[in-house]
Amino acid sequence: MKNVILDCDPGVDDALAILLALNSDNVGIEGITTVHGNTTLDQTTKNALRVLDYFGRLDIPVAAGASNPLLCEVHNAENVHGKDGLGDVSNIVPYSTRREIETPAHQYIIDRVSSGAVKTIVATGALTNIALAFDNNPEVMNTLDELVIMGGAFRHPGNVSPVAEANFYADPEAADYVLAQDVKKIIIPLDVTHQVILTPELVKSIPDNRSGIFVKSIVKRYQNFYMNVWALKGNPLHDPSAIGYVINPDFLALEQFQANVETLGKHTRGMMIVEQRAGLAGINAKPNAYIATAVKAKEFMDYFISSVSKA
């Protein structure tokens, strides 16, 4: 079993990722750290606690992190996830009986990595907390076995601009800084997450147990957004795809590239820039990340449905 810290901004798809991890025998959640993103930091922190309370996992600590990006203005996605970030539904825990721990997220991350308890971090929000952790203690952070990142668009259009994906756009400076670190990085971009589509028919197939009621409740608004705005047959499983990789790396095919994030461009800010000219004369590419370029979509979706169908 891999013990992980999930650094996230719940968020409907973050909540689905938490559920997928909770129901897996291959992943143990050491802790959850929250960041600005899909909604405010205060709300993403409340949501992480709400999800854990709903599933009776009061043993998992939640540490609140950065409420703002390193340099730019806050960007949220409440138009996608709802004002409360979880689809504005009332039939799950409306609030938690507990609070986040006092330790800031970046320090909690450093402490758990330093102790040896965590060798894998899964980041499914803006990378502000991760950047702060590396900035404060790069020696410890670079001892990680892997940093799994849901973010970026490779050969796929962006989802907040023609070229930028939401998590990298939310804090481009943090994303670019993190990609420059020595640790092994696995990037799960829109290219693969948009191939794993949770349709209304699949949602109906999930039984009405505790997990099933949770999924059916929070995805309604989220799913409608992707069907109406993106003309998809359902909603992509963005953040669950990152947890899916940790559970079974064979779900994804990876290729190694040099990747950076644009921080200055008027029209390209937040864009993941991938050097694809390696091997050409005069091109000195320095691969720094593994990017998922293909996914076993049906196999992963079958696993997802089976997992969230557990009581």
- Looking at this protein, which amino acid is placed at residue 19? L
C-alpha closest to that of 62 among 10, 103, 100: 100
Distance CA(67)–CA(127), nearest Å, equals 12
User: What per-residue confidence (pLDDT) applies to 254?
Assistant: 98
User: What per-residue confidence (pLDDT) applies to 73?
Assistant: 87
User: What per-residue confidence (pLDDT) applies to 283?
Assistant: 75
Q: Is 90 exposed, middle or buried (CB count within 10 Å of its CB: 0-12, 13-18, 19+)?
A: exposed
Tell me the pLDDT band of 110, cut-offs 50, 70 and 90: very high
User: Residue 166 pLDDT > 70, yes or no?
Assistant: yes
Structural domain harbouring 109: 2-308
User: Residue 203 pLDDT > 90, yes or no?
Assistant: yes
User: Residue 282 pLDDT > 70, yes or no?
Assistant: no
Per-residue model confidence as pLDDT tens digits over 237-259: 999 999 999 999 999 999 999 99
Whether 36 is catalytic is no
Q: Which two tokens stand for residue 129?
A: 């907390």
* Mean pLDDT over the full length of the chain: 95
Catalytic residue among 106, 156, 238, 267: 238
> Do 129 and 106 meet the contact criterion of CB atoms below 8 Å apart?
yes
Tell me the pLDDT band of 227, cut-offs 50, 70 and 90: very high
Residue 222's CATH number: 3.90.245.10
Q: Comparing 32-41, 74-83, 109-118, 191-200, which segment has the lowest mean pLDDT?
A: 74-83
> Do 197 and 238 meet the contact criterion of CB atoms below 8 Å apart?
no
Q: Which two tokens stand for residue 223?
A: 């799913």
User: Residue 292 pLDDT > 80, yes or no?
Assistant: yes
User: What per-residue confidence (pLDDT) applies to 284?
Assistant: 82
User: What per-residue confidence (pLDDT) applies to 281?
Assistant: 60
Domain count, the chain: 1
Q: Is 122 helix (H, G, I), strand (E, B) or coil?
A: strand
Q: Comparing 19-33, 60-74, 85-99, which segment has the lowest mean pLDDT?
A: 85-99
The angle subtended at Cα 124 by Cα 119 and Cα 125, nearest 5°, is: 120
> Do 147 and 178 meet the contact criterion of CB atoms below 8 Å apart?
yes
Mean pLDDT of 46-54: 96
